Amino acid sequence: MTYRRLTMTDRKEGPDGEASVITKTRPKTQRPPMYKVLLLNDDYTPMEFVVHILERFFGLSHAQSFEIMLTVHKKGLAVVGVYSYEVAETKVAQVMDFARRHQHPLQCTMEKE
């Protein structure tokens, strides 16, 4: 949240010398919170399957997908995208469902940014 201090430039004197305070109003538009979608490593899901998921559900190129898959494999997890709550929830559900249907233990979660 950003607050703005009243400064002397906000004080205006009318013709009679009487001071009045002009408060500038700014509509407070709250940005919706964004959510990171995280992919977790495991020892069983094939690398090509993870690459396929990243291409299919996250619209990433083959090269980007391979790079992210390797990051997850080496570091344990990686952020694969940042979305609104509804979109992040959908991506997680798509990944979890696809992995489950192929009997891979791949885990995908979301976290508030």
Find the residue with minimal CB distance to ligand TYC. Answer: 72
Spatial distance between the Cα atoms of 34 and 45, rounded to a whole number of angstroms: 28
Residues numbered 18-37 forming contacts with ligand TYC, rule: CB under 6 A? none
106 counts as binding ligand TYC under rule CB under 6 A: yes
Under DSSP, the state recorded for 84 is -
**Kindly report the CA angle at 51 between 35 and 96, in degrees rounded to 5?**
50
What would the x/- binding string for ligand TYC be over residues 36 to 75, using CB under 6 A?
A: ---xxxxx-xxx--x------------------x--xx--
What letter represents residue 112's amino acid?
K
Give helix 62-75 / helix 47-58 axis angle, nearest 10°.
130
Nearer to ligand TYC, 37 or 83 (CB): 37
Residues that bind ligand TYC (CB under 6 A): 39-43, 45-47, 50, 69, 72-73, 106
